[in-house]
Amino acid sequence: MITVRGLTKYYGSLPAIQDVSFDVAAGEVLGFLGPNAAGKTTTMRILTGYMPPSGGKAVVAGYDVVEHSLEARRHIGYLPESVALYPEMSVRAYLEFMAALRGVGPARRRKQRVDEVMARCQVAHMADRPIGKLSRGYRQRVGLAQALVHDPKVLILDEPTVGLDPAQIIEVRDLIRELGRDHTIILSTHILSEVEHVCQRVMIIHEGRIVAEDTRDRLRARLKGGELLYVEIAGAPSEEITVGLLSLPHVQDVRPLGDNAYQVTCTLGSDIRAGLAQFVVQKGWQLLELRRERISLEEIFLQLTSDEPRPDQAPAGR
Amino acid sequence: MRNAFLIARRELEAYFISPIAYVVTAAMLVVLGYFFSVILFVTRQASLRPLFGGSALIVLLFVLPLLTMRLLAEEQRSGTIELLVTAPVRDGEIILGKYLASLAFYLLMLVPTLYYPVVLEVFGRPDWGPILTTYLGIILLGGSLLGVGTLASALTSNQIVAAVLGVGMALLLWLIPSLAGFVSGPLADVLQYLGLSSHIADFAKGIIDTRHVVYHLSVIAASLFLATRILETRRWR
């Protein structure tokens, strides 16, 4: 549904994005992750036709965003980061205006569609309120409604949950997840848990370049380098426990964390929990806790966007 | 073209909500009304020619850019331009729609001035031909000024700057013929032709000279064309 190759954008002599390439299949939800000023908004603005790229090309719903900008735009619903709406218009009036502009018609169908979308985004009870009088959360929902009103194939959402309270965030996230079933969505955020809950694939962008791109789970696996176990063992001095754990098969490293806790690194793909438990019991120690540790998206994000080289780093896939 | 009308309608509705529009209308009517009354007392003629053929029109130069200052500048400042420009709408349609809204509002502003010819008719025997052509001239002049104002609004994200720029450009266009006195030959004629002030007096006399009509339409077309290009280049940044 979306194909991007070698997208580059310079602001003057400063590169905002360089050589960005990715694909999004129909019905997929792609998470676009990156620190501020990484290039997320720039990429989205190029896809939505707000500005042309300095180089490279992008095709949305079969239309090149530069050559056939008008057609491409017809198939896109866009929620920009700023969610700037006309403050003097009522919610309903604004949505009807945007719907008409995007070709939803005739008038009766438009009205019906606006009602549908207001209900879906839960702003129906604010329908006649001027947008300028709405709270940030409601304005965001109206923005989302505007992106949906013409039922586009593609949704491009720039930081859709920023500024919302936790309850609203959950609602928007659920809505996006629901929409993901029959829309293609690109969602940008710097809230990592959002990507965790909503997206099937994740793309991490840093300083204008894509530094990682894969499904959520594979990304985690690639960066782990090994399985991590967290154990709490009491009943012996920590040096003895450490040595003992190191003797187990598949164990690569043991790190005492204090307070009877240890982090055990095992080879990728192994699961030594049963063996470890037996071993601890045989030795007469007390096993207080045993659990698998997953490397969080946070850690992936920080690892990939920090500027320090990491020992296990191969150029993360483009 | 449908989109241009959609945008025009929205913009026109916004005009009614904005206080500036009413203030501008009031200001224009006060100034014109004052001139109308004074001129009537002095000349005792049932004619609009001294009013609209003369310098009272300067008020339009100051007032109409205030009407257009918001059109693009405010959208560029608040960011609402982003959703407009990413809609399946051509830049030209955006500019045209906003311009048409300002033109429509201007026509509404002129409606109260119809009491001038009514007063003349009640107390005298005015020539209706010149009165009608005068209004045509006023509408064309207004159209040109609104075009220039729209261009000014496209150039900035600050409404005040847009207003000042619009007034400045309008004054420039109005005053160009005064430079003709300093040069001679064909250049003087060109300067005469380029000035706004040369293209209004004949309408007040009852003459519809197509040269004047073409001039105003050209100013409008050129302003809107440039404004569209400006909108396009803003995207490239």
Which amino acid, one-letter code, is at A185? I
Describe the crossing of helices A238-246 and A273-282 by its angle, rounded to 10 degrees: 130
User: Two tokens at A33?
Assistant: 């992750």
Confidence of residue B150 (pLDDT cuts 50, 70, 90): very high
> Do the bridges between strand A29-33 and strand A201-206 make them parallel or antiparallel, or are there none, so unpaired?
parallel
Smallest Cβ distance to B83: which of A84, A88, A89? Answer: A84
Average of pLDDT values for B103-112?
A: 95
d(CA A74, CA B88): 5
For residue A196, give how far its alpha carbon lies from the nearest alpha carbon of chain B (Å): 28
Q: Does A50 touch chain B (CB under 8 A)?
A: yes
Nearest chain B residue (CA) to A75 = B88
Which of A74, A101, A150 to probe the B interface (max B CBs under 10 A)? A101
CB of B78 within 8 A of CB of A84?
yes
CA dihedral A281, A283, A284, A288 (to 10 degrees): -50
Is residue B159 pLDDT above 70, yes or no?
yes
Average of pLDDT values for A8-28?
A: 89
For residue B63, give how far its alpha carbon lies from the nearest alpha carbon of chain A (Å): 23
Average of pLDDT values for B16-41?
A: 90
The 10 Å Cβ neighbour count of residue B119 is: 15
Confidence of residue A47 (pLDDT cuts 50, 70, 90): very high
Average of pLDDT values for A27-55?
A: 89
Higher pLDDT, A38 or A220: A38
Largest interatomic CA distance in chain B: 60
d(CA B175, CA A123): 54
Low-confidence winner among A93-107, A137-151, A213-227 (lowest mean pLDDT): A213-227
A151 backbone φψ class: left, alpha, beta (φ>0; ψ -120 to 50): left
Confidence of residue A315 (pLDDT cuts 50, 70, 90): very low
Smallest Cβ distance to A84: which of B10, B78, B88? Answer: B78
Is residue B237 pLDDT above 60, yes or no?
no
pLDDT (tens digit per residue) in B183-214: 778 888 888 888 888 888 888 888 888 889 99
pLDDT (tens digit per residue) in A265-302: 887 667 888 888 999 899 899 999 998 876 666 666 77
Is residue A310 pLDDT above 60, yes or no?
no
Mean pLDDT of chain B: 89
Q: Which of A160, A102, A105 is nearest to A136 (CA)?
A: A160
**Considering chain A, what percentage of its residues have pLDDT values greater than 70?**
88
For residue B89, give how far its alpha carbon lies from the nearest alpha carbon of chain A (Å): 7
In eight-state DSSP terms, residue B46 is: S
- Name the burial class of residue A111, with classes exposed (0-12), middle (13-18) and buried (19+) by CB atoms within 10 angstroms of its CB: middle
Average of pLDDT values for B132-160?
A: 93
Confidence of residue A37 (pLDDT cuts 50, 70, 90): confident
d(CA B21, CA B10): 15
CA A28 vs. chain centroid, Å, equals: 12
Confidence of residue A221 (pLDDT cuts 50, 70, 90): low
The 10 Å Cβ neighbour count of residue A115 is: 14
Q: Which of B172, B125, B144, B120 is nearest to B60 (CA)?
A: B144
Contact A84 B17 (CB under 8 A): no
Q: Does A105 touch chain B (CB under 8 A)?
A: no
pLDDT of residue B123: 86
Mean pLDDT of chain A: 85
> Which residues of B fall within a CB distance of 8 Å from A85?
80, 83
Is residue B58 pLDDT above 70, yes or no?
yes
pLDDT (tens digit per residue) in A62-105: 999 999 999 999 999 999 988 899 999 999 999 999 999 998 87
Higher pLDDT, A24 or B45: A24
d(CA A257, CA A289): 13
Q: Which residues contact A50 (CB under 8 A, 6 or more apart)?
A: B82, B85, B86, B235
Interface of B with A (CB under 8 A): 3, 6-7, 10, 13-14, 17-18, 78-83, 85-90, 235-237
